[in-house]
Structure 1
Amino acid sequence: MIVGMLCALGAAVCFGVASVLQAVAARAATPGSGSGVDARLLVRALREWRYVAGLGLDAVGFGLEIVALRLLPIYAVSAALAASLAVTAVAAARLLGVRLGRAEWGAVAAVCGGLGMLGLASGREGDGVGSTALRWAVLGTAFAVLGLGVVAGRLPDRARAAALGFGAGIGFGVVEVAVRLLDDLSPGALAADPAAYALLVGGGAAFLLLTSALQRGSVTAATAGMVIGETVGPALVGVIALGDRTRPGLAPLAVAGFALAVLGALALARFGEGGAPADGDGHAA
């Protein structure tokens, strides 16, 4: 349990710092076509060293996330990953001169408190392996994320960012569920398992949508949508379909901790871009 939570928190640190680097790099890249699914924008962003560094941190974070998902219920890992916004806020304050007020520091404390409650209440991951129907449903959801990106790209800027962020969150949520569904990692089993393809499609779609949202839209709306998309759905799938449970008698504590962590993360959503642009003195403009 302790190892799993440490891995989940380590993943949150990696993702939180990566979001600061990637948001700055995406803003520096040449504007894209305006589509929510713009692979060329992703290619241009990859020319920025900060985006590449962010991807490196994402890779490390993903490895830690896989370990955590093998040891903890999805709801605990989801809440810990939502805490990456708290890491983003602190990183923004350190690296970009963004000043955190009392409300923001209170939100950071709320995230930490919620995760502490979850750590006390979480049981072991469920022993459910998921039905074939669930595996195909997860793959279908991954492709639906791409469709959502196409539609969201035509919306006005603020609604566009929120929709793209929500879609990216669903894509990252697909990855969380798919990792739990992959019980046989042999090459033959992976090739025949829809969950393996869901992991690839969902992860790729999430990066496309998130990069587009960070490049043009309101990052506040994008990150808030992402937190909702990647936490609530996967947590419900874990409890309903995969048998995730809390320790006996501690379900209310787990629910309260999950809600506190996610609400605290949403309060920090405006720091998902790594803060406002800095002026010549290195302070937020």
Structure 2
Amino acid sequence: MVLGMICALASAVCFGTASVLQAVAARDTPSGTGAGVDPRLLLRVLKQWRFLLGLALDGVGFVLELIALRALPIYTVGAALAATLAVTAVVAAPVLHLRLRPREWLAVGVVCGGLALLALASGEEGHLRGGTGLRVAVLVFALALLALGFLAGRLPDRSRAAVLGLGAGLGFGVVEVAVRLLDGFTPSALLANPASYALLIGGGTAFLLLTTAFQRGSVTAATAGMVIGETIGPALVGVAWLGDRTRPGLAPLAVLGFGCAVAGALALARFGEAPAAEPDATPDTTPDATPGRP
């Protein structure tokens, strides 16, 4: 369990640092002439070296997340990944010349405190692997999420970013659940398991929706939606179908820790707004001033 928690936190560090790099890359990339969700956007941002470096960190973070998910309940890993925003806030401050306000330092502390409570209360990973029905259901959900994401890209500006962010969070949640549904990592086992395809489709959908939201809308709203989508849904699946439990008698402590970690992350959602400011510029640090990626 100790190794799993270390991997979960290290994963959050990788994802949080990658987010800052990808924020700058997404904002420096032309949006193109299409409306809504455009898959070609991913091809354009791949020309940005910061985005590529962020992807490399995401790859390392995913490997660490995979190790954590095979050792810890999904609710613990999900809350640790919500701590990505705390990492983003701390990294964005010196890199993008932003200043954390006292309440945001408090939010960072709340996230860390929530994770500490979860570490104390978490039991071992649930030993249920789910049946074929759950694997197929996760794949169908991933496909539906992709289709709905294209529709969400055409919503009015006010609601679009939040819905796209929520969709991205659900896509990342599909990845978390799918990892737990993998029976093995041999080519034959992966090809025969619907969860393998759900993992790929969910992860790709999440990246596409999140990149679109960060470039074309309020990223504070998108980030908040993402945090909710990638924590609450997967945690419920883990408890209801995969046997995730807390240590005996410590369920209230786990709920408190989970709530603190997610609430603290939501309080830091403005760091989805990390602006790609010029070195000589004085950035506006008010929420929703200049959207970007956390």
TM range (shorter): over 0.9
Work out the CA distance in 2 between the residues paired with 1:192 and 1:208.
26
| Structure 2: gaps spanning 5 or more residues | 285-294
2:232 aligned with 1:237: no
Residue in structure 1 matched with residue 199 of structure 2 by the alignment: 199
Give 4+ residue runs of structure 1 displaced > 4 Å after superposition. Answer: none
| Structure 1: gaps spanning 5 or more residues | none
- Contact 1:170 1:229 (8 Å CA) reproduced: yes
Alignment of 1:245-260 (within 5 A): 245-260=245-260
Q: Count how many residue pairs are aligned between Structure 1 and Structure 2.
A: 283
SS at match of 2:70: helix
Work out the CA distance in 1 between the residues paired with 2:251 and 2:206.
31
Task: Report the Cα offset of residue 280 of structure 1.
Answer: 4.8
> Is the alpha carbon distance of 1:282 and 1:64 closer, same or farther for their aligned partners in structure 2, counting shifts above 3 Å?
farther
Alignment of 1:109-148 (within 5 A): 109-148=109-148
- Contact 1:158 1:221 (8 Å CA) reproduced: no
Could you report, residue by residue, the CA deviation over 1:123-182 in whole angstroms, capped at 9, with x for unpaired residues?
Answer: 100000101111011001111111121111111223111111100100000000000000
SS at match of 1:71: coil
Letter in 2 for 1:162: A
- Contact 1:35 1:149 (8 Å CA) reproduced: no
Work out the CA distance in 1 between the residues paired with 2:68 and 2:94.
28
Letter in 2 for 1:251: A
Task: Report the Cα offset of residue 194 of structure 1.
Answer: 0.5
Residue in structure 2 matched with residue 34 of structure 1 by the alignment: 35
Work out the CA distance in 1 between the residues paired with 2:47 and 2:278.
24
Residue in structure 2 matched with residue 15 of structure 1 by the alignment: 15
Task: Report the Cα offset of residue 282 of structure 1.
Answer: 4.8
SS at match of 2:127: coil
Residue in structure 1 matched with residue 277 of structure 2 by the alignment: 278
- Contact 2:27 2:276 (8 Å CA) reproduced: no
Alignment of 1:181-196 (within 5 A): 181-196=181-196
Residue in structure 2 matched with residue 172 of structure 1 by the alignment: 172
Work out the CA distance in 1 between the residues paired with 2:162 and 2:252.
30
Residue in structure 2 matched with residue 84 of structure 1 by the alignment: 84
Letter in 2 for 1:204: G
Identity across matched positions, percent: 68
> Is the alpha carbon distance of 1:277 and 1:187 closer, same or farther for their aligned partners in structure 2, counting shifts above 3 Å?
closer
Q: TM-score, normalised by structure 2?
A: 0.94
Q: Which stretch of structure 1 is more off in the superposition, 200-209 or 156-165?
A: 156-165
Could you report, residue by residue, the CA deviation over 1:218-267 in whole angstroms, capped at 9, with x for unpaired residues?
Answer: 11011100000000000000001000000000000000000000000000
Residue in structure 1 matched with residue 65 of structure 2 by the alignment: 65
Q: TM-score, normalised by structure 1?
A: 0.97
